[in-house]
Amino acid sequence: MNEKIQNRYAFSIDLLKKAGGIALSYYLNRNQLTIECKKGDKQDQVSIADKTVEAKLREAIAEKFPADGFLGEESGYAGLDSEFCWIVDPIDGTSPFLNGLYAWCISIAVLYRDEIVIGMVFDPLHNELFHAKLGAGAYLNDLPIHTLDPAENVQDGLVGLGMSHRVPPKTILPFLEQLLSEGGMYVRNGSGALSLAQVAAGRLLAYYEPHMNCWDCAAGMLLVREAGGMANNILANNGLLKGNFVLAAANQSTYQQLDLMRTI
């Protein structure tokens, strides 16, 4: 089994670097992109960049591992009952991407049955590839990474927050109030996947978002766990298709402190 996982791990590293080059060239020419809104939400946009990157990834994965399942934000799913299943967000942080900001990435996770065994987040702008394999630790390019240490409470670092119009404001406002009341501070960069990778790298203390889809966070959650942190199970309660809340933190004590601030 480990060999099958390792084959997919090595393949994903090369694949992400190639896909990152394509995404970066779209980003550098973003003024030429036609932008569409999803489901009438002007804050939820998509362009040919998202669709092309996902199509290239899907094609390459199907060619190399034809029996594997696939779930992608832009093209949907097939073969979810396969032994291995790939979960892809071709551009996480589409809004920063299209607005010329700096937090966007490509996120790929691989499930072996119901477990995330590979998680990779590539930030082409900074040439940072965060990668983790279940039980083998987390890395940023060639170096091992660890969650923030020491971190005893929410005052010891920055908490990344995410929000979308999929859920109402009341799902985050009490959390924010509690965080600030307890002396914590938040940042929101617009890419949940990259924020989770930054928790893994010890740059952020934690990340919270009331609802994310699996493609936004499966890779980042494995990265955090493999870097020594704690994250909830995104796959619980049919999370693969419906999504879930996401809480990831540097360690158990900060996780528990933040968990008490959640309303959902």
Contacts with Ca ion, residue ranges (CB under 5 A): 73, 89, 92, 216
x-marked contacts with ligand IPD along 78-117 as a string, rule CB under 6 A: -----------x--xxxx----------------------
Contact between 123 and ligand IPD (CB under 6 A)?
A: no
CA distance 184 to 212: 22
Q: What track of x and - describes contact with ligand IPD for positions 197 through 216 (by CB under 6 A)?
A: ------------x--x---x
Q: Are 93 and 189 in contact (CB under 8 A)?
A: yes
Binding mask 131-170 for ligand IPD (x = CB under 6 A): -------------------------------xxx------
The H-assigned helical ranges of 159-207 are: 173-181, 192-200
Decide if residue 192 touches ligand IPD (CB under 6 A): yes
Q: Binds 212, which of Ca ion, ligand IPD, none (CB < 5 to 8 A, cut-off by type)?
A: ligand IPD
**Closest approach of Cβ 204 to ligand IPD, in Å?**
13
Q: Is the dihedral of CA 130, 237, 113, 56 positive or negative?
A: negative
How many Cα atoms sit within 13 Å of 238 on the Cβ side?
A: 2
190 binds, among ligand IPD, Ca ion, none (CB under 5 to 8 A by kind): ligand IPD
What is the sign, positive or negative, of the torsion defined by CA atoms of 130, 26, 246, 172? Answer: positive
Sign of CA dihedral 90, 61, 72, 206: negative
How, if at all, do strands 84-92 and 69-72 pair?
A: parallel
Binding site for ligand IPD (CB under 6 A): 89, 92-95, 162-164, 190-193, 209, 212, 216
